Amino acid sequence: MLDTEEAYYQLLETYGQNVIASKTDLKGNIVYVSDAFCDACGYSRDELMGQPHNIVKHPDMPDAFFDELWECVESLKTFRGEVKNKKKNGGYFWVAITVSPIQDEFNNIVGYTAIMHDITTQKELEELNYNHKKLIDTFSKYVIASKTDLKGNITYVSDAFCDISGYSQKELMGKPHNIVRHPDVSKEFYKQMWATIKSGKNFSGEVKNKKKNGDAYWVSVEITPDYNQGGEHIGYSAIRTNISQQKVLEDLLAQKEKPAQKAPAKAAKKPAPKK
């Protein structure tokens, strides 16, 4: 059985290897770092001792954060927060930090201690989720997109789809996609479209659609089958480009190229009969 002193030093060693910890004097100069702190930041203990703790300050962290930290611990309170630190090699690591004042037997502050928990993976996932959401929001805003089930009922529409059609998302969800079908488009067009996508192929074409207010708009559309992870066919996705202006120009050019129709010649007047 280990004696008390040996157990104490083993506990300290385990602490140093696994807990990211540091201590500073009143000016914030480092007086102690754990092995785990050195491993996290990439500096050796010799490189850190006596240095200002901001040796690991990352430029992404605002000064206001550290102003709040100092104000808190100098008033004998414990500070908790999340900090992005800079490694020796220029990389970074995130920690959840708890900073507390160290007091002597007369209750005077003689320094500060910090215990840190590595949350780099958590923060990277948060950033990935944020960037993913930002990408989805941008897509929805600018891309005229929709999804349907196998029967053609709408399961998703982008904001851009709602903007161009005049319908709200609530008005479109669950409705047949032909809610925007324009009567000028022949049944043969849609018959060919369905035959193509039901066979597992992509369909491309130009479609005249109808807005909620009755106005027309033209889109170039690409429709592809959707499959789940098990390979089961579950519906269709459609991406569109607004070509309404292009179609207006095409109509104007077509009108311009039509040969001018000559006015019918007037019949010659017959001379009045002589009396």
pLDDT per residue as tens digits for the range 72-82: 999 999 999 99
User: Do residue 192 and residue 238 come from a single domain?
Assistant: yes
pLDDT tens track for 207-229: 999 999 999 999 999 999 999 99
Which residue range(s) make up the domain with 148?
A: 143-256
Number of domains in the chain: 2
User: Do residue 174 and residue 117 come from a single domain?
Assistant: no
Question: What's the CA gap between 29 and 33, in Å, rounded?
Answer: 11
In a domain, 265, yes or no: no
User: Do residue 18 and residue 99 come from a single domain?
Assistant: yes
Would the pTM count as exceeding 0.85? no
* 221 touches 242 (CB < 8 A): no
User: Do residue 147 and residue 249 come from a single domain?
Assistant: yes
In a domain, 4, yes or no: no
CATH number of the domain encompassing residue 237: 3.30.450.20
- Give the per-residue pLDDT at 264: 58
At which of 125, 151, 166 does a domain end?
Answer: 125
- Give the per-residue pLDDT at 267: 54
CA distances from 151 to 147, 198, 204 (A): 11, 11, 19
Question: What's the CA gap between 43 and 27, in Å, rounded?
Answer: 20
In a domain, 234, yes or no: yes
In a domain, 2, yes or no: no
User: Do residue 223 and residue 160 come from a single domain?
Assistant: yes
In a domain, 270, yes or no: no
- Give the per-residue pLDDT at 274: 56
In a domain, 118, yes or no: yes
In a domain, 220, yes or no: yes
At which of 125, 155, 183 does a domain end?
Answer: 125
Which residues of the chain have a pLDDT value below 70? Answer: 1-13, 15-16, 258-275
In a domain, 244, yes or no: yes
